[in-house]
Amino acid sequence: MTTTVKDILLFVPNLIGYVRIVLAIASAYYMPFDYVTASVCYAISVGLDDLDGYAARALNQCTKFGAMLDQLTDRAGTATLVMTLSYFYPKHMFLFQMSLVIDIVCHWLHLHVSVMKGTNHKSMGLDSNPIMKLYYTSRPFLFFMCAGNEMFYIMLYLLHFTEGPIVLGVSLFQYPQSWQEHPIS
């Protein structure tokens, strides 16, 4: 039986990807003024990222479209958060811009080369860069890098609205006053 484009568009991992897009859009909408709703939508969208990959492998529904959808959803979700951080912390806008450019360009180049070679972006040959090989072949390392990056941005986002978690009466994070000249009303 031949798989059609319509079939691929309706594969379970891609349906999960569409839900991630809706959640990312909702999160982006709420980011400037409702950090609780924005954070919940963002967290669910990021959490579904692992689920779509698991579903693709479990249901044998791995496709180039799904890989690109996943990459674009990841990059777009992070981009909305980084753009919001640039708005909240304008003195550090250049750093946020460069972080975003590096993230998008590196992932796009890697994915594009993989598609041109006819391979999966997570398959690494003997001639692969050792860091990229570790990134894509070690699930704990991949999780550590992705979660660390997301947590850094999320914590900066939450610090704009809160003082950080209070443990034993002491704030673990102090709002970095030096990060921002004036609060944005």
Contacts of 121 (CB under 8 A, 6+ apart): 67, 71, 110, 111, 114, 115, 136
CA distances from 81 to 29, 86, 152 (A): 11, 9, 11
One-letter amino acid at 125 equals G
DSSP category for residue 59: T
Helix (H) or strand (E) holding 80: helix 64-88
Enter the tokens of residue 136: 């894509």
Bridge partners (DSSP) listed for residue 170: 167
DSSP category for residue 172: S
Which positions are catalytic?
74
